[in-house]
Amino acid sequence: AQSVTQLDSHVSVSEGTPVLLRCNYSSSYSPSLFWYVQHPNKGLQLLLKYTSAATLVKGINGFEAEFKKSETSFHLTKPSAHMSDAAEYFCVVSDSNNDMRFGAGTRLTVKP
Amino acid sequence: NAGVMQNPRHLVRRRGQEARLRCSPVKGHSHVYWYRQLPEEGLKFMVYLQKENIIDESGMPKERFSAEFPKEGPSILRIQQVVRGDSAAYFCASSPTVGMDTQYFGPGTRLTVL
């Protein structure tokens, strides 16, 4: 069985400061890991994915995430938050394409 | 190159009516997935289909819900005799192959049951 836990339901940062959205997973297999973003009234958009290649994954809009097997973590970071980053972020673990598990989501608020 | 398309984007139904949600995958993708996002909750897997076949429906409620992905045309998620608890956003995703491949998500259909 696999599962994913997003440790914060809500994160608030000031514009221009770093962003850290935390995600821990459990999986019996070598997992694939994804971060998706959902802006208000929009569908999900893939930010980045890890599939057993480089452990530091760079995504769109300046986001990146590091796969740490020893810590079973896949935290999402960005050096400098922008107002347009305000959205809901989902961490996803998958060990086969018909068995994806979504985290409950982290709502990111960016203050001016 | 169109992405995943879902229609309608918003659907309002009264209790007891039927809701039909459509999903057109990315051109060339033969794998379709349906997810439900309830208010204040994360996404939950419902069903995985390949052309004309249901591969995994472990997340589908046992009654009133059905899904199909015919040889021609979009995938359909059908909810019969809707209840207020069915109000949610329903997302469809598609991928070209099975395996550890990226799923591309549609914009979702927001179902409101009055």
DSSP symbols for A45-60: EEEEEESSS-SEEE-G
Interface A–B counts its CB contacts (< 8 A) at: 57
What is the nearest CA distance from A19 to chain B, expressed in angstroms? Answer: 21
Closest-CA residue of chain B to A49: B102
pLDDT at A51 over 70: yes
Task: Give yes or no for a contact between B88 and B112, defined as CB atoms under 8 angstroms apart.
Answer: no
Question: pLDDT tens for residues A63-78?
Answer: 999 999 899 999 999 9
CB contact under 8 A, B99 and A96: yes
Q: Residue B113: which of B88, B77, B76, B96 has the closest Cα?
A: B88
A97 pLDDT more than 50: no
| pLDDT of A38 above 60 | yes
